[in-house]
């Protein structure tokens, strides 16, 4: 396998071309192979979601999915997480112990859409649900809300087939708005005022959750009213 070093250099921050000996080249090959497998798993999930969105556009005249975001962790991030959690620093260890090497975030308009999408995904014959965490019914202490699924998706390779783990986060536009800003602000929290700001962020999360519920009720009122008119 020939390696395009200019393309692969981002895999190892601070490593010069002169340091890329055969041993390092083997490591790059391994990381690139893993990256490709997880990228393929993401494509499997996103294709299913895009098909669902297209179907709803035709049959229901709306798109339940506002946006789909996807990413594969960089080798640096994988290594840092393995070290932080005390796991062996190897590709096999990463496959076994990390659930979020491949990540898909699905952003919906309404809360009900979250659970509809969950049901759609978990009902697929080739998707196996490994873990489910509902931070909507049970928010984190800081106010974070989202539905997290860890699934296994089969990826067909040239001479084999591998089940690959993907973490899927499903949330509303409002939940994503709060999570994005909270993540950004968390790095800027001044020590002296940290407690008060954390409390304020939690209050904002609760207000946004109430707005989400009100928008869900409004949507149901409108759609139920349209259904009655048709009858």
Has residue 152 been placed in a domain? yes
> Per the confidence metrics, is the pTM higher than 0.75?
yes
* Distance (Å, whole) CA 129 – CA 153: 9
- CATH number of the CATH domain containing 86: 3.30.460.10
How many CB atoms within 10 Å of residue 202? 17
How many CB atoms within 10 Å of residue 45? 24
Question: In the predicted model, what is the mean pLDDT of residues 153-168?
Answer: 92
Has residue 38 been placed in a domain? yes
Catalytic residue among 167, 191, 200, 231: 167
* Distance (Å, whole) CA 9 – CA 208: 42
Q: Which has the closest alpha carbon to 168: 103, 96, 107?
A: 103
26: containing domain: 5-174
Has residue 15 been placed in a domain? yes
Residue 32 neighbours by CB under 8 Å, 6+ apart: 3, 8, 11
Per the structure, the count of domains in the chain is 1
Q: What is the pLDDT of residue 92?
A: 87
Has residue 77 been placed in a domain? yes
Has residue 184 been placed in a domain? no
Q: Which has the closest alpha carbon to 211: 68, 78, 109?
A: 109
187-224 pLDDT tens trace: 776 666 677 888 899 999 999 999 999 999 999 998 88
Has residue 216 been placed in a domain? no
Output the average pLDDT for the chain.
Answer: 85
Q: Is 19 a catalytic residue?
A: no
Has residue 206 been placed in a domain? no
Q: What is the pLDDT of residue 90?
A: 79
Q: What is the pLDDT of residue 223?
A: 85
Has residue 192 been placed in a domain? no
The residue that leads in pLDDT, 198 or 108, is 108
Q: What is the pLDDT of residue 35?
A: 85
CA distances from 195 to 101, 138, 188 (A): 32, 22, 13
pLDDT at 165 over 90: yes
């Amino acid at each position: 396998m020939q390696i395009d070093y200019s393309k692969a250099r981002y895999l190892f921050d601070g490593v010069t071309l002169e340091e890329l000996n055969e041993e390092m080249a083997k490591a790059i090959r391994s990381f690139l192979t893993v990256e490709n497998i997880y990228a393929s798993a993401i494509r499997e999930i996103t294709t299913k979601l895009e098909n669902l969105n297209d179907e709803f556009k035709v049959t229901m005249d709306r798109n339940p999915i506002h946006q789909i975001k996807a990413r594969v962790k960089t080798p640096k991030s994988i290594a840092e997480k393995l070290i932080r959690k005390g796991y062996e620093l190897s590709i096999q260890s990463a496959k076994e112990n990390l659930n979020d090497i491949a990540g898909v975030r699905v952003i919906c308009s309404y809360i009900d859409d979250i659970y509809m999408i969950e049901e759609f995904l978990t009902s697929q014959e080739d998707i196996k649900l490994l873990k489910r965490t509902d931070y909507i019914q049970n928010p984190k202490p800081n106010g974070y809300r989202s539905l997290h699924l860890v699934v296994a998706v089969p990826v067909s390779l040239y001479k084999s087939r591998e089940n690959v783990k993907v973490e899927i986060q499903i949330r509303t536009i409002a939940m994503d708005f709060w999570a994005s800003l909270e993540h950004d602000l968390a790095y800027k929290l001044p020590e002296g005022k940290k407690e008060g700001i954390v409390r304020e962020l939690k209050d904002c999360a609760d207000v946004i959750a109430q707005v989400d519920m009100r928008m869900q009720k409004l949507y149901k009122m409108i759609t139920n009213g349209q259904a009655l008119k048709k009858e």
